């Protein structure tokens, strides 16, 4: 199996990660960070390599709708703390060059992937 760590020269390259960040939440508080903890080595490697990281994930089953209770915002905030990143963005639809974030977290992969990534990649 190929590993991202085997790639050379990731500096400035966009890396799309489809991650299972469906962690248990109680009143917007994460009760178990195990799934986040497991991805930290990969994220830290990509940050060290200066790659532009785009994370695609979801919480729960939003059935194609934006549901506030299923927001990735708490996960986004937790990742910010864990990786020390001050420019982590969460948004349903990201326009190209809206800002110049290194890391992006897209709210839900349950929507049409082509529509979500239009103008991002």
Using one digit for the tens of pLDDT, what is the confidence trace for 71-89? Answer: 778 888 888 888 876 555 5
Averaged pLDDT, 37-52: 88
Averaged pLDDT, 88-117: 47
| pLDDT (0 to 100) of residue 1 | 72
The answer on pLDDT for 102 being more than 60 is no
The answer on pLDDT for 108 being more than 60 is no
Q: Which uninterrupted H or E stretch holds 25? A: strand 25-26
Alpha helices (runs of H) in the chain, residue ranges in sequence order? 34-48, 73-83, 113-117
- Whole-angstrom distance, CA of residue 94 vs CA of residue 45: 24
Question: Average per-residue pLDDT in the chain?
Answer: 72
- CATH code of the domain occupying 4-117: 3.40.50.1260
Bridge pairing between strands 29-30 and 25-26:
antiparallel
Using one digit for the tens of pLDDT, what is the confidence trace for 16-44? Answer: 888 888 888 888 888 998 998 998 999 88
Confidence grade of residue 90 (pLDDT, cut at 50, 70, 90) = low
Nearest by Cα to 46 from 94, 102, 96:
102
Nearest by Cα to 66 from 89, 103, 87, 93:
93
């Amino acid at each position: 199996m190929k590993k991202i760590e085997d790639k050379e020269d990731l500096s400035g390259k966009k890396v799309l990660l489809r991650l299972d960040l469906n962690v248990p939440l109680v009143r917007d508080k994460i009760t178990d960070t195990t799934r986040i903890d497991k991805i930290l080595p990969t994220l830290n490697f990509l940050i060290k390599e200066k790659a532009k990281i785009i994370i695609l994930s979801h919480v729960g089953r939003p059935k194609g709708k934006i549901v506030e209770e299923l927001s990735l915002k708490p996960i986004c905030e937790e990742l910010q703390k864990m990786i020390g990143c001050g420019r982590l963005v969460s948004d349903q639809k990201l326009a190209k060059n809206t800002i110049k974030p290194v890391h992006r977290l897209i709210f839900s992969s349950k929507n049409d992937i082509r529509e979500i990534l239009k103008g991002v990649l």
